[in-house]
Structure 1
Amino acid sequence: MAISLDQMVISNCDFPLTRRGHERRLALLLSANTLFLERGYDAVSLDDIVNHAGGSKTSIYKYFGSKEGLFIAICDYRRAMFFQDICPAFEQSKNDLRDYLIQNLNNFYIHLLDPENAAFIRLIVERTQATPEFALYIHEQGPKHIQATIAKVLENAHNQKILYCPKPLFSAQIYIGIIRHLEWKTIMGIEIKKTDAEINEYFEYSVDRFLDGHQRV
């Protein structure tokens, strides 16, 4: 089950135990999310967030530790929402591998088309240039997590002799590459001049070629 924005927990910070505390924390998260998207991370101060949300900076320090902690909380929430429909658990007895791989790509693409999602990804990329530790954190929680999830599905298929996939992590990286150019076009604001049907046809073709390359001989 997906967690809500006001349930995100920051290490070494207090978590509200009262309804009023939850409301105050949520207001800060929502205000910061709005302001970061409107102005960018560096252009937003704690005073700006407090003026927008109400309350005081004391609450930010109490619940998030710092402006960066607040930004990470928003990133964690948005990442959870972004990936909850991408790479769900695969059950061999219920799911068709081809359909599963195609659907994951379509889900990823639909999420990318949301202007707010694309804008926030751009914001994250900008922020990672200034903070290497944050860049590593985002990679571990995002791209690397997806690769590991797909790799596990492929490893299981290999073990069950459905596919020949002796290096599942390598293969997972190839699979994710199917959508990479669409992802970067979206992030850079380049119009994708293809219909949904054409995109789905591309995904189907690419997954079929991907599976052809992993057939047992």
Structure 2
Amino acid sequence: MQKHFTEIEAVGCGEQPQTRRGQERRLALLLSANDLFLEHGYDAVSLDDIVNHAGGSKTSIYKYFGNKEGLFTAICDYRRELFFKDICACYNSERDDLRSYLTQTLINFYLHLKKPENVAFIRLIFEQTQKNPELALYIHEKGAHFIQLTIAKALEQSHLQGKLSCPQPLSSAMMYFGILRDYEWRILMGLEINQPEQEVTKYIEYCVDHFLKGHQKV
């Protein structure tokens, strides 16, 4: 996990660490800020709190992240990469079966979404993006829109190969992710999902089958 963390590009006004010590210092600040934001909320945590938790000085925060907002954005990048890296790989028509690809993507999305730490951070993001439209746009473009584009490319590729009819792949990708919308909202609102995972998988398979049926060539 730490290797993945240090590979994330610095954002905002900060600079990328050039030494191992600098990478370790940046990593410690990110880990500490992530834990403190989840535990206490963004507004309740000061830079002094982060430094006291991680060690070092505020100079390192200004150097690597620019400010508190830059630090939070870097954490969003880190958590976004962790969230999406195992959910949706690029589609390869020579290797992947489209139905299996679409089904497994939604199953992965659901399983990641259920993790309590992911739920807590998504709620924190919602809170902060209400105050920061630029952050909201950034997270949407790098998160939801990015994964929609990944699915859209798979659908477009299948369309061009004549495997299905999908003249508006991005619109279809947005429709596709709507399959999990009810589960997503229930999880984020803290409502219990009584269905076992096998039933959720059956639901996903059913919806993907009908999604593909709606895109069959006439």
User: TM-score, normalised to structure 1's length?
Assistant: 0.96
| 1:114 corresponding residue in structure 2 | 115
In structure 2, what is the Cα distance between the partners aligned to 1:17 and 1:101? 40
In structure 2, what is the Cα distance between the partners aligned to 1:116 and 1:94? 33
1:181, CA displacement in angstroms? 1.3
Q: Structure 2: which amino acid aligns with 1:124?
A: I
The gaps in structure 1 that reach 5 residues or longer are: none
1:11, CA displacement in angstroms? 4.3
Asked whether 1:150 is paired with 2:187, we answer: no
Runs of 4 or more, structure 1, over 3 Å off, are none
Instruction: Give the total of aligned pairs.
Output: 216
Asked whether 1:171 is paired with 2:169, we answer: no
Asked whether 1:82 is paired with 2:80, we answer: no
In structure 2, what is the Cα distance between the partners aligned to 1:6 and 1:85? 18
Segment of structure 1 superposing worse, 104-113 or 84-93: 84-93
SS of the residue corresponding to residue 130 of structure 2 reads helix
In structure 2, what is the Cα distance between the partners aligned to 1:208 and 1:7? 38
Call closer, same or farther: CA 1:95–1:203 in 2, change over 3 Å: same
Query: Deviation string for 1:22-73 (max 9, x for gaps)?
Result: 2211111100000000011111100110111111111100110000100000
How does 1:41-190 map onto structure 2 within 5 Å?
41-190=42-191
User: TM-score, normalised to structure 2's length?
Assistant: 0.96
The gaps in structure 2 that reach 5 residues or longer are: none
**Percent identical across equivalent pairs?**
62
RMSD: 1.3
1:20, CA displacement in angstroms? 2.0
1:216, CA displacement in angstroms? 0.8
1:114, CA displacement in angstroms? 0.9
In structure 2, what is the Cα distance between the partners aligned to 1:160 and 1:86? 24
| 2:213 corresponding residue in structure 1 | 212
| 2:7 corresponding residue in structure 1 | 7
SS of the residue corresponding to residue 4 of structure 1 reads helix
